[in-house]
Amino acid sequence: MKELSEIQINQFQLAVLLDEEERHFYNVVVEGFIYCSQCRGFAGEGVEVESIYLDSLNDIRVEGRCRKCGGRVARVFEFGGKKVFNEKARRFRQSISE
């Protein structure tokens, strides 16, 4: 099986991929549950998301900065293991490669 490439996506594309429950989980985590190594704890004031990727496993990787200290942070959301999400991601990949 061919390995999928990692692709950068925007907020709109992310919203299309996520269902309501996944979107809620994503928002809660981004607003206070991403670890910041500079603060040595969760980025309690949230994260300023700078880039979003659909990785080779169809998981979502978010990179950004802690709103409190400005430190670099990243988080992987393991949605690719979910059958429905994985199918949406597959169709999304097909739609942008045409």
The two tokens of residue 34 are 């991403």
Is pLDDT of 1 > 60? no
Collapsing DSSP states into helix, strand and coil, what is residue 76? Answer: strand
> Distance between CA 78 and CA 59 in Å, rounded?
5
Identify the bridge partners of residue 73 per DSSP, sorted by sequence position. 64
Cα atoms found within 13 Å of the Cα of residue 26, Cβ hemisphere only: 21
CA distances from 24 to 30, 37, 54, 70 (A): 10, 25, 18, 24
Q: What is the pTM of this model?
A: 0.90
> Distance between CA 17 and CA 86 in Å, rounded?
9
Q: What is the residue whose two structure tokens read 């999928």?
A: 4
Q: Report the pLDDT averaged over residues 8-37.
A: 96
Q: Are 4 and 56 in contact (CB under 8 A)?
A: yes
> Distance between CA 44 and CA 56 in Å, rounded?
29
- Give the model's pLDDT for residue 2: 61
What pLDDT, in 10s, does the model give residues 28-83?
Answer: 999 999 999 999 999 989 999 999 999 999 999 999 999 999 999 999 999 999 99
